[in-house]
Amino acid sequence: MAELNLALDPRISDSPTALRILDMAAQLFMQRGYRAVSINDIIQAAGVTKPTLYYYFGDKEDLFVQMGLRVLETMRQPLAEIAAADRPLVERLQAMATLLITGYEGDMRMMRHEMMEHLGESARARLSAAFYQHLFAPLTAVMHEASAAGLVRADLAPAMLAMLFLSLCETFHELTPAHPMLRWTGAVSPALLVDLFLHGAGTQAAPKSSTGMA
């Protein structure tokens, strides 16, 4: 099985025009969803011709894949550096939360939904692999450490802990100043996120019911 290419095409990363097309496409995809955006919409928003767009991108699906790879690549190195840093685990979790809350534009949950709903199998596989390698693997590595140190529950797999942490980060991403929900919730912070992740929102342990479930 051929190894998947998880890097942004160098022709794109080295071209201001291609990056502008990606930026406009990302805005439209996140505003309207994949299906509702046409190539003509992207051309008009980016101010380029159709031949220029097709010089860099094979089709709309390729545009979406390159957009996802670009987002994930921006997270890869800083997350890996935080994961490997010689810092206390709580500080590393807070640093990861800061990056995941503020380090990208758009809605990563929506991106994953649109990917699974509308892209072909090979495109989904490429983005899924990039998501795991660039974002999920560094989180899981830190959760392995947190579990070994007794900071988190040992009965939860590190991958499950990483997904719970990521879900909190994606929720807090929606509570940044650009999003209207902040008016309802009040200010949030990475420190609050990590505290909720480690200790929950309750003031004491919930009583167990007769069925054994809280």
Per DSSP, the residues of 32-90 read H-TTT--HHHHHHHHT--HHHHHHH-SSHHHHHHHHHHHHHHHHHHHHHHHHHSSS-HH
Q: Which residues contact 76 (CB under 8 A, 6 or more apart)?
A: 133, 134, 135
Give me the domains of the chain, ranges plus CATH numbers.
10-199 (1.10.357.10)
Q: Per residue in 78-111, is it b (16+ CB within 10 Å) or e — as a string?
A: ebbebbeeeeebeebbbbbbbbbbeebebbbeeb
Residue 212, pLDDT score: 43
DSSP classification of residue 186: -
Predicted local distance difference test score (pLDDT) of residue 44? 96
The pLDDT value given to residue 102: 85
Per-residue pLDDT of the chain (214 residues; tens, 9 = 90+): 457 788 888 889 899 999 999 999 998 998 898 999 999 999 999 999 999 999 999 999 999 999 999 988 888 999 999 999 999 999 999 999 999 988 776 677 788 889 999 999 999 999 999 999 999 999 999 999 999 999 999 999 999 999 999 999 988 887 765 655 556 666 678 999 999 999 998 876 555 544 444 3
Structure tokens at 146: 């947190």
What pLDDT, on the 0 to 100 scale, is given for residue 109?
79
